[in-house]
């Protein structure tokens, strides 16, 4: 059983229903097409390979749809899934990257950590590889930008010298 989020939420980023359905639909449709192609191609090897790939695509469709039920919560201590799973603690975050050329999920942003962290992934919501954490995918672009802005503001606020009002 997952532990609850430790602090009160400052912001919440949830995947939108339309994007969840569209993502699952198109991935599932691709799986069905590959399965169909696997039944028509000549040769046992290609048939087995295409049927296996189509089956994996359908399995991943189910995983994507279930994974996008969970949102991301920003608290005073960092970013968490709604289940309580930690994505990135504030102390570990180096910067927030929303630039055009950042390798980030669609409708999302990138967090660069100070130190590498274990790999983590919730399809369509977030991923973490080494020092990079991608937030977004099936989320609303404006809501993701707002979360990135709040996160960047909180980081600057945390790093400001005591007594600095500006």
Q: Is residue 129 part of a domain?
A: yes
Q: Is residue 56 part of a domain?
A: yes
**DSSP-derived 3-state class of residue 149:** helix
Taking alpha carbons only, the member of 6, 113, 109, 105 closest to residue 64 is: 105
Q: Is residue 70 part of a domain?
A: yes
Q: Is residue 120 part of a domain?
A: yes
User: Residue 130 has which token pair?
Assistant: 């080494």
Rounded CA separation 142/140 (Å): 6
Count of domains for the chain:
1
List pLDDT tens digits, range 91-136: 899 999 888 877 888 888 999 999 999 999 999 999 999 999 999 9
Q: Is residue 3 part of a domain?
A: no
List pLDDT tens digits, range 46-91: 999 999 999 999 999 999 999 999 999 999 888 999 988 999 998 8
Q: Is residue 2 part of a domain?
A: no
Q: Is residue 1 part of a domain?
A: no
Q: Long-range pairs for 86-92 at CB < 8 Å and ≥24 separation?
A: 87/120, 87/126, 87/128, 87/133, 87/135, 88/113, 88/117, 88/128, 88/133, 90/154, 90/155, 90/158, 92/117
Q: Is residue 166 part of a domain?
A: no
Q: Tell me the residue range of the domain where 89 lies.
A: 8-161
Identify the bridge partners of residue 79 per DSSP, sorted by sequence position: 74, 88
**pTM for the complete prediction?**
0.81
């Amino acid at each position: 059983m997952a532990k609850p989020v430790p602090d009160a939420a400052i912001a919440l980023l949830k995947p939108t229903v339309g994007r969840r359905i569209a993502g699952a639909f198109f991935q599932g449709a691709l799986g069905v097409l590959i399965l169909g192609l696997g039944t028509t191609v000549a040769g046992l090897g290609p048939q087995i390979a295409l049927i296996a790939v189509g089956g994996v695509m359908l399995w991943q469709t189910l995983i994507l749809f279930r994974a996008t039920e969970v949102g991301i919560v920003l608290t005073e201590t960092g970013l968490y899934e709604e289940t309580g799973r930690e994505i990135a603690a504030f102390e570990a975050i180096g910067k927030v990257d929303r630039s055009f050329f950042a390798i980030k999920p669609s409708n999302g942003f990138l967090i660069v950590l100070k130190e590498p962290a274990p790999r983590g992934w919730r399809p369509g919501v977030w991923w973490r590889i080494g020092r990079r954490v991608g937030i977004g995918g099936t989320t609303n672009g404006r809501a993701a930008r707002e979360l990135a802005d709040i996160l960047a503001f909180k980081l600057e606020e945390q790093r400001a010298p005591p007594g600095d009002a500006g």
